């Protein structure tokens, strides 16, 4: 079913066992009870007769549709993580003898399932090597391509992951786990419009796919499609009330919409349940900053950095707050520069957001030449990541720095 291979179907009599497949088999059970000697080439007429009997029997059957199994949230996520969900179609009951014989492909299916567990254990290089061997041997095996895509996505090589997910879907559009993976790869590359398109298709096929609902909510939030974002997050939390990412998503959405009281309340409730939840702490700090409660925001960021000294986003947020505030008891440009420098070091100066924070810190400290250099580097990296909105924001700040330098 998952490979599109020809199934093995048998018709057995007192003497004969006929196996219908791409490469059919015939065994004389009286002379060969252990089925070790395929005599189909020696008994073509017998094989033809048994094949007809099997077809005649099939014609009398009535196909009944089973009811959907009721699975727990944990069971659903476990099956989804292993690629077992996604709306694959049941194989043709008659069997299409033009398809690959499963006797030749079963070992590759076993390798793919082995690689799912390797990926789950983060043994990515070993999984990648095995999967590349599988797709070379069976280039029409969609699940192998999709699983290889998962492997590259785990390694954060999203363009290559995207190619593999597309190949899986080109072979079998019912590989919904590959569609969800494609949506996530597109999200990581900031291709948000197609990300939404793919994930909307995925959740229509499989509404209980939590990761698809979450990333659909995030992509819509970034596109400022508030209603669609809220619907996706609400669906995820209805399916799984304990799904913290979707709860964070709802709070982030409220913050983006300017519903500061709602955002702060949501973040606060999450912190009460789990004081070490860093995303909630970060969101609460941002909410308090926008509400003008800067001293409280500083306290939240400081507590977060006490628990996680290398939290890049907290370093950036506090750095910007320390130079943007007009409160003389909070303003500290020198420390702001130190925090932003650390954020840039932790990201090897390869991410736009930390460099943008560093530019703001330098500007707040009066070092405009360094601020301009950092902003120019941030713009270049943002362009490479296809983030048009971020490019526009940094360019606006860069223009302000240039204008300030002109006045000096």
Per-residue pLDDT, 164 = 98
Across 314-330, average pLDDT: 96
Decide if 9-58 and 324-408 have a common fold: no
Under CATH, what is the fold of the domain 9-58? Answer: Arylsulfatase, C-terminal domain (3.30.1120)
Per-residue pLDDT, 312 = 96
Spatial separation of the C-alpha atoms in residues 224 and 39, rounded to whole Å: 67
Across 145-149, average pLDDT: 97
Domain boundaries, the chain: 9-58, 324-408
Under CATH, what is the fold of the domain 324-408? Answer: 1.25.40
366 or 276, higher pLDDT: 366
Is residue 85 scored above 60 in pLDDT?
no
| pLDDT tens-place string over residues 259-310 | 999 999 999 999 998 888 899 999 999 999 999 999 999 999 999 999 999 9
**pTM listed for this prediction:** 0.79
pLDDT tier for residue 88 given thresholds of 50, 70 and 90: very low
Per-residue pLDDT, 95 = 47
């Amino acid at each position: 079913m998952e490979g599109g291979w020809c199934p093995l179907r048998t018709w057995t009599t007192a003497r004969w066992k006929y196996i219908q497949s791409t490469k059919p088999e015939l065994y004389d059970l009286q002379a060969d009870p252990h089925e070790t000697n395929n005599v189909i080439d020696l008994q073509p007429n017998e094989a033809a007769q048994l094949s007809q009997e099997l077809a005649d029997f099939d014609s009398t059957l009535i196909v009944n549709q089973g009811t959907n199994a009721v699975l727990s949230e944990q069971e659903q996520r476990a099956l989804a993580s292993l690629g077992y969900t996604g709306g694959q179609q049941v194989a043709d009951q008659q069997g299409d003898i033009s398809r690959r014989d499963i006797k030749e492909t079963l070992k590759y299916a076993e390798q793919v399932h082995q690689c799912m567990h390797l990926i789950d254990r983060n043994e990515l290089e070993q999984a990648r090597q095995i999967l590349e061997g599988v797709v070379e041997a069976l280039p029409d095996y969609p699940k192998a391509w999709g699983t290889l895509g998962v492997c590259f996505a785990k390694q954060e090589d999203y363009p290559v992951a995207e190619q593999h997910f597309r190949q899986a879907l080109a072979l079998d559009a019912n590989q919904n786990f590959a569609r969800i993976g494609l949506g996530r790869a597109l999200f990581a590359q900031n291709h948000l419009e197609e990300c939404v398109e793919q994930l909307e298709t995925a959740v229509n096929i499989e509404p209980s796919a939590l990761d698809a609902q979450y990333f659909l909510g995030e992509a819509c939030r970034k596109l400022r499609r508030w209603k669609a974002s809220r619907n996706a997050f609400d669906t995820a939390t209805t399916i799984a009330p304990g799904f913290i990412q979707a709860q964070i998503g709802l709070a982030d959405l409220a913050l983006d919409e300017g519903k500061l009281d709602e955002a702060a309340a949501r973040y606060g409730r999450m912190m009460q349940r789990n004081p070490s939840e860093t995303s909630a702490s970060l969101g609460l700090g941002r909410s308090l900053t926008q509400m003008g409660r800067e001293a409280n925001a500083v306290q939240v960021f400081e507590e977060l950095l006490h628990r996680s000294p290398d939290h890049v986003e907290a370093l950036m947020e506090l750095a910007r707050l320390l130079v943007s505030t007009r409160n003389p008891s909070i303003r500290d440009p020198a420390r702001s520069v130190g925090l932003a420098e650390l954020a840039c070091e932790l990201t090897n100066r390869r991410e736009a957001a930390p460099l943008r924070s560093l530019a703001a810190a330098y500007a707040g400290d009066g070092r405009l030449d360094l601020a301009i250099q950092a902003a120019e580097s941030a713009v270049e990296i943002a362009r490479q990541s296809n983030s048009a909105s971020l490019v526009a924001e940094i360019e606006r700040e860069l223009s302000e720095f240039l204008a300030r330098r002109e006045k000096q």
